[in-house]
A = this chain, B = another copy of it.
Amino acid sequence: MNIAEIARRAGVSRSTVSYVLSGKRAVSEQTRGRIQAVINELGYRPNAAARALKEGRTRTVGLVIPPASLRLTDMQLGFVASVVEAAARADLDVLLSPSGGDHDRSFERVVLGQRVDGVILMEIRLEDERVTRLRRTGLPFVTIGHTADPEGTCWIDVDYTTLVARCVHHLADLGHRRVALINRSTELIAVGYGPAQRALVGFTEAVTERGLTGVGICCGDDAAAGEACIEQLLEEHADVTGVVTINEAALPGMERALRRAGIAVPRDLSIAGVAARHWAEGFRPELTAADVPTEMGTYAVDLLLERIATPDAPPKHLLLTPPISLRASTGPAPAR
């Protein structure tokens, strides 16, 4: 069932049907009605491939996700979902492409095969080969997170440096003098994962500025790692009274370890951090944290559409600094 079939049944030429569909030329009320009736009756929709071929655009955006082997965090998941929602609102489809591992073929098919009008890239590293390759192709793209050299590209990110620094300042204001940063895993830091590195920068700067003593600890992305991490902290740095965390997936384990050790939050220990609202509110007591906005996907899609429309405009950046929601996990430092 194609446009010729519709034209034949309505007794008009193919071009007239096309003009009814696109509205790009006037069609008399009478013919339009007849054609529309046939279309509705047969449930006809134009073939996407033919249309893409002729128009030179696919009305599709690519979303390059990390491979399944690395478990996605809640934040990333919310992000994928919101990208899909936002794209649907703009009548775009989303083509998924895993990257890393041995998924180069997928990346090539999607990007070089002109399957998409633009690409959103997740989980950017400070030095990222995918960015280099994508830039060479000239295809519009937006990255979530930014590379070490961010000027030439279009990106959107959460300002971990500032947020972590604000958490430290908040703790310092409450009288805490010895604080710890619970970061992401050593592996992630080793491969140059931006948020982890920038969190450490913000932490170090704020600690120095306020004259505190600080310790950075790496922690895997799951409850068991969080548990081990708190145990290590209590053992090796028992004098710490304030903790900043950017590792939401470790929160349940941290909570468990603290309870078992008989540490009351925030009486004995204050905790602040950066986390999806869902995790912050699931913590007990509820976590004082900068809630990563769920609309990041929407922003990314908007930015990409803008970039597709005007590819030569200077690249835009969007660095989000959501406010810290004061909840119940931070309080005055205990008297020593």
Residue pair B93, A94 in contact (C-beta under 8 Å):
no
A77 at the interface (CB under 8 A from B): yes
Give Cα distance in the complex from A12 to B95, angstroms: 34
Which residues of chain A (46-86) have a CB below 8 Å from chain B?
Answer: 46-50, 52-53, 58, 60, 63, 65, 67-68, 71-72, 77-78, 81-82, 84-85
Binary CB contact string for chain A from 267 to 293 against chain B (1 if under 8 A, 0 otherwise): 000000000001001101000000000
A123 at the interface (CB under 8 A from B): no
Give Cα distance in the complex from A45 to B78, angstroms: 33
Q: Give chain B residues whose Cβ lies under 8 Å from the Cβ of A253.
A: 282
Chain A interface: which size bin? 35 or more
Which residues of chain A (85-124) have a CB below 8 Å from chain B?
Answer: 85, 88, 91, 93-98, 103, 105-106, 108-110, 112-115
A256 at the interface (CB under 8 A from B): yes
Minimal Cβ-Cβ distance residue in B for A115 = B48
Given known A-B contacts A58-B49, A223-B282, A256-B284, A68 and B82 have beta carbons under 8 A apart? yes
Q: Give chain B residues whose Cβ lies under 8 Å from the Cβ of A256.
A: 255, 284
Q: Give chain B residues whose Cβ lies under 8 Å from the Cβ of A103.
A: 88
A252 at the interface (CB under 8 A from B): yes
Give Cα distance in the complex from A65 to B81, angstroms: 9
Given known A-B contacts A52-B49, A53-B53, A222-B278, A95 and B98 have beta carbons under 8 A apart? no
Q: Give chain B residues whose Cβ lies under 8 Å from the Cβ of A23.
A: none
Q: Give chain B residues whose Cβ lies under 8 Å from the Cβ of A108.
A: 45
A327 at the interface (CB under 8 A from B): no
Residue pair A65, B84 in contact (C-beta under 8 Å):
yes
Give Cα distance in the complex from A93 to B108, angstroms: 11
A234 at the interface (CB under 8 A from B): no
Q: Give chain B residues whose Cβ lies under 8 Å from the Cβ of A65.
A: 84
Residue pair B259, A112 in contact (C-beta under 8 Å):
no
Give Cα distance in the complex from A63 to B253, angstroms: 33
Give Cα distance in the complex from A72 to B78, angstroms: 9
Residue pair B113, A46 in contact (C-beta under 8 Å):
yes
A262 at the interface (CB under 8 A from B): no
Give Cα distance in the complex from A77 to B81, angstroms: 10
Residue pair A77, B72 in contact (C-beta under 8 Å):
yes
The smallest C-beta distance from A292 to any residue of chain B, in angstroms, reads 15
Residue pair A47, B113 in contact (C-beta under 8 Å):
yes
**Cβ 8 A contact of A259, one of B88, B98, B259:** B259
The 10 closest A-B pairs by CB, nearest first: A68-B81, A49-B52, A45-B112, A48-B113, A223-B282, A49-B53, A48-B115, A94-B96, A68-B85, A88-B106
